[in-house]
Amino acid sequence: MNDSKNTRSRILDVAEELFSEQGIDRVSIRDITAAAEVNLGAINYHFGSKEDLIAAVFERRIVPVNAARLVALQTVRESTRKQPRVEDILAAFIRPTVECSGGKARGERAFSKLFGRCLSEPSPEVEAMLKRQFEPLVEQLESALMMALPKLSRSDIFWRLKFTFGALHHWHLTRDKFLPAGLDPGDVEEQIQKLIAFTAAGFQAA
């Protein structure tokens, strides 16, 4: 059982890395089997098809993070009788990204790069899959933010949330890169607090 689980994880790790470096369309199943040192039967057994493998690569990263975000958002809404704080809502969205990473820095970077590549090299199938994964979260975020910021229109919430997604993705991809000489970036918690403060200011701007 463990061997089977390890094989599945190795295939996912390799596929994620190759997809992030070359793009989904340029990577073949043969490329993945060669790099993962498995045969075609292992792909068929664990995933069935390349499309199912692609979905599994995304679901492995996105599902637990978004599930944690939804739980955190629910906690924020249940813990206040008045308007929720924008900072608490944003923390519920931002913090699970780090907490669900499991410390696999290489995998995190590969998936962030893959996610960015999918945005710049759109595929209708991948876009539809991502929409399904993110729709419940976006609905809950919009609802909570409209409670916290009743003076903003839904359009305002949408665009500021879109910019927040971009800021989080960029931070996650480059948080240990491109630092000026002599700058102490602080620990991850400090960076998270800076990101929350920055995005909260964007939501609260006139």
pTM of the predicted model, to two decimals? Answer: 0.85
Express the helix, strand and coil content of the chain in percent, nearest 5 each: 75, 0, 25
Cα 65 from Cα 59, distance rounded (Å): 10
Residue 110 confidence (pLDDT) above 70: yes
How many percent of the chain have pLDDT more than 90? 64
Q: Please, what are the domains in the chain?
A: 50-204 (1.10.357.10)
183 dihedral zone (left: phi>0; alpha: psi -120 to 50; beta): beta
Length of the chain: 206
Residue, of 172 and 62, whose pLDDT is higher: 62
pLDDT attached to residue 186: 80
pLDDT in tens, 17-72: 999 999 999 999 999 999 999 999 999 999 999 999 999 999 999 999 999 999 99
